[in-house]
Chain A
Amino acid sequence: MNLSRRNFLKGTVAGGALLTAGTAAEARPNKTMPPDALGLLFDSTLCIGCKACVAACKRVNNLPPDPISEEFPMWDAPLDISGTTYNIIKVYNSGKANRKDEEVDGYAFMKQSCLHCVDPSCVSACPVSAMIKDPVTGIVAYDPDACIGCRYCVAACPFGIPRFEYNKALPKIGKCELCRHRIPDGNYAACAEVCPTGATLYGKVTDLSAEARRRLALKPGEKTIFPRGRLGGPDWSYQGVAGKYVQQVYGDKELGGTQMIKLAAVPFDKLGHPPLPERSYASISEGVQHTLYKYLALPAVVLGVLSVVAKRNTKHEDDDDSDSGRGRK
């Protein structure tokens, strides 16, 4: 078994080739959305930046105020989502910023909260099942009792959503869970419930998707009816005018789709939503893992071979009790 250097290298290269070939072969497809998945439709052209949704989110989730800074503790005005702020409205500014929903010299609002991916990176990343995607509603939920606080979800999320409490001795991850704790009482996402313009709309993703497509088909400036609250709930609709939409439903295809979908009149990458491929990162990562570790087949075979070889190569040491003994080479 005295392998030459060449064989050593051959083995290394062969192992690499195996790894490469396997990776391509075993890749799993993207996961698919449950038929009754729940979600949100956010329409940037309807958002007036009132932040009622930010306050409502804090109220129903029992979250403390986030003052701008220690210097200005009198304003509960979080600058970003955090371990204690799950939803925020951000603004895009350009030049004079005096025209709403214009890319040049304009401004536009954007909601930042969990998109509830169809194939979430955080769920794939979490080693202890603390991030779970509900098989019926598709809501990506967090279980602090399971969580070890490794923050792999924070690092993995392509949208930067899960946040961690860095200044607590007993910290938790914080993220939007689509008000799943309010569903049993017949309530729904507070952000949609309080939205005065219907910019944030709650409902089944299939219905929201149809509504988004309806709006994209409208001519800019055309009169139309906008629902508010939740689709299928009491009629809170009102008449408004269609925006100059970018012809894209963000979240329709991105990384295999998300359950919060978005419309806007300013290109999405300007609103902090980068263009993303259709293939989910979770599927690529799990493809690599399954190639190497499915049924532990590959490790078992390798262990078997290594055991046999190691036994042969250490045989001469078995009965050798003195340290000066020399076995065969």
Chain B
Amino acid sequence: MANAQHAVAPLGGRLVTPVTVVLAGLTAIAGVILLVRFFFGLGAVTNISDGFPWGIWIAYDVMVGSAFACGGYAMALLVYIFNRGEYHPLVRPALLASLFGYTLAGASVIFDLGRYWNVWHLFWPGYAQINSVMFEVGVCITAYIFVMWIEFSPVFLEKLGLKDVKRKLSKVLFFFIALGVLLPSMHQSSLGSLLVVFGYQVHPLWQTVLLPLLFLLTAILLGFAVVIFEASVVSVGFKRPGETPILARLSRIMYWLLAVYLVVRVGDLAWRGALGLMFVPSFETAGFWVEMLAFAAPLWLLASAESRQRRDRLFVSAVLLMLGGFMLRINGFLIGYETGPGWHYFPAVPELLVTIGLIAFEILAYIVFVRMLPVLPKHATH
């Protein structure tokens, strides 16, 4: 991201507020639980087992967390690749949220890795196993985190007054922007591909070789939804004027992408002859309906141009799409996953508290950053 076309400025204001104190407290609780995890093993604080070796620290923190962090990716795609400059004011805040979302998703993997001290093997020739989907995911997410910090660095450079460095960086920034679009396209699709090798263990409502495409389309979709969600929350939370007109335009693009996704999703089910399974009463089917209804409802909510101008509809649609994307990932990795009879999983309380702590830390860091660094658009320009 080079210089913003729109003026941006630090929000200023107090950092110590009841909200930030609560967020800091939740973060600290997660820190203590993680200490227990590192001394006594994953089983001491989680409910994962050999039947569900991946719990919410993977299915939510990494799969959903990184998808929710696709705002920067989706906006970069729109603004810099499809040259829709009018969306420029949304890029910097979106990128910041992505930066935290991804950095924490990446960092949280360390908590979940049993033999974390070997993690460098992912990047080491001789150890790296290039046929592994996990290898692609690990390397690609790591690379993207670095790329995002570079993309975001003009904000720091502005703050530090390093204009020379900033000017030099801006000459090559286009390359990092291109990487910043390529890398998420790769690993967001691969997060879906992770499930392919599970074979029959993943319910046929989700097991398909189109998983990479489904995960990619929903990642972009979620990127737009999250941008709308965050813009709404920021305008209420920081008592700023809303950005409804631009969000309304954005929602139209989101709307058509959603239509494409649903055609691919239902078409794939039909093509594989799996449509009938959605009427078989089961826990999996319930998960499927929540997922599909959450995706389908915005198609109705945002159908007309007038409805897209309504803040409430935009917000509800964004939340529903986030729920749909959440369910697709939770369904694929937990609800629709079964390795044999007799295995059950529901996250343990400490396990949940770590995930909650991560989210709290993310929000806390976001608040600190927008108050101290030039991220959000200046009021005057609107």
Contact = CB atoms under 8 A, between A and B. Distances in A.
> Per DSSP, are chain B's interface residues mostly helix, strand or loop, or mixed?
helix
27 contacts: A3-B83, A13-B260, A19-B213, A80-B50, A128-B122, A145-B118, A147-B115, A148-B116, A151-B53, A158-B199, A158-B200, A164-B50, A282-B197, A284-B197, A284-B209, A285-B193, A285-B197, A287-B209, A289-B190, A290-B131, A293-B136, A307-B174, A307-B175, A310-B80, A310-B81, A310-B174, A326-B5
A167 interface: yes
B311 interface: no
Interface of B: 2-5, 7-8, 38-44, 46, 48-51, 53-54, 79-86, 112-116, 118-119, 121-122, 126-136, 138, 158, 163, 167, 170-171, 173-175, 177-179, 181-182, 185-186, 189-190, 193-194, 196-201, 209-210, 212-213, 217, 220, 252-253, 256-257, 260, 264, 337, 339-340, 374
A125 B197 contact: yes
Interface string A138-156: 0000001111111110111
Nearest to B380: A324
Contact of A154 (B50, B82, B133): B50
Given A160-B51, A317-B170, A169 B209 contact: no
Contacts of B260: 9, 12-13
A142 B99 CA distance: 36
Contacts of B129: 126-129
A160 B343 CA distance: 11
B163 A124 contact: no
Q: Which of B2, B115, B190, B201 has the most CB of A within 10 A?
A: B115
Contacts of A154: 50, 53
Q: Which 5 A-B pairs have the closest CB atoms?
A: A149-B114, A166-B43, A149-B115, A306-B178, A281-B199
Contact of B50 (A1, A129, A160, A324): A160
A299 interface: yes
A253 B332 CA distance: 27
B282 to A, nearest CB: 18
Contacts of A125: 132-134, 197
Contacts of A147: 114-115, 118
